[in-house]
Amino acid sequence: MTGVVSTLGNPPRATRTLGAILVDGGQLTTEEAERVLVYQRAHNLRFGEAAVRLGLIGEAEVQFALSRQFAYAYLRKVPGETRGLSDEIVAAYQPFSSRVEQLRAIRSQLMLRWFDRAEERQVLTIVGAERGEGRTYLAANLAVVFAQLGERTLLVDADMRTPRQHFLFSLENRIGFSTMLAGRLREEAIVRIPDLAGLSVLPAGPTPPNPLELLNRLNFEEFMIGVRGMYDVVIVDTPAMNVGEDAAMIAVKTGAALAVARSGATRVSAFTDLVQGLMDAGVAVVGSVLNEVPLKQKRKKRKE
């Protein structure tokens, strides 16, 4: 995949120094690394901090090198390149930002409240009442942060009406979830993301004329049984509830859902009906996420 530099081209060894990683990556010359070592010892600093103080590299290069040292997969844009994963995958490109820190907090809560391989609780459906609430964004980035934790993670694009995961991950969409449900293809439709170790994506596939009928086939249950045996975490993206019953049906079959709303956009009544309807159907609603909370609300919450 062009346009990005992977932290996992060669698996890093725990004993590899930060200086060696920076030299191998071309961020420092051997002479500059020796200069940093002298300055580091003289001022009792970490290697990365010393290199930044000398003006040889920036903080971003230090963070990227640290990710290689600790086998924490994330990506960075190559100047002049336009292809690669979408900028919406912030967990891959901005892993140390406040937005991704919030995603990791959600991940922690989900690990505590739901995911448990021993209990066969590996699948979570992302649902929302209306379009434009950020379900696809949340599903994609949650899948990345779970993979970064070391979990074998599968992201399923089950939105067979307006799919977007193939666009976010720069994948072809000729085969996928819809062809799997139709019984034509199985595991070969799942694509490993080599730049993000541990992450695999199942695109939605061609748009079918009968998504609800496809979801009622036994192929879906068989698929769920299979992925539970192969992955630690399975995140399922779905269409909005107001465009069809797809999401509700998928949530019932997977057993658990994370409800998404968008500040200033989602109607309270629609969200309430969504959650209550899922609970009445026996779905475990393990939590909810409010996207784009206004700054004033954030400040007010801190004061409280």
Q: Is the per-residue pLDDT at 2 higher than 80?
A: no
Give the number of other Cβ atoms within 10 Å of residue 108's Cβ. Answer: 12
Share the mean pLDDT of the chain: 82
| The predicted structure's pLDDT at residue 38 | 86
Percent of the chain residues topping a pLDDT of 90: 42
Most confident among 72-76, 182-186, 273-277 (mean pLDDT): 273-277
The residue with greater pLDDT, 15 or 2, is 15
Question: Which tens digit of pLDDT belongs to each residue from 144-175?
Answer: 999 888 889 999 999 999 999 999 999 999 99
Task: Measure CA of the first residue to CA of the last residue in the chain; give whole Å.
Answer: 47
Q: All domains of the chain, ordered by start, with CATH? A: 4-77 (no CATH), 91-303 (3.40.50.300)
Give residue 18's pLDDT band: very low, low, confident or very high (50, 70, 90): confident
Count of all residues that appear for the chain in the document: 304
pLDDT of residue 33: 82
pLDDT band at 276 (very low <50, low <70, confident <90, very high): very high
pLDDT tens digits along 88-111: 999 888 887 888 899 999 999 999
pTM over 0.85: no
Q: Which residue has the higher pLDDT, 273 or 59?
A: 273
Kindly tell me if the per-residue pLDDT of 19 is higher than 80: no
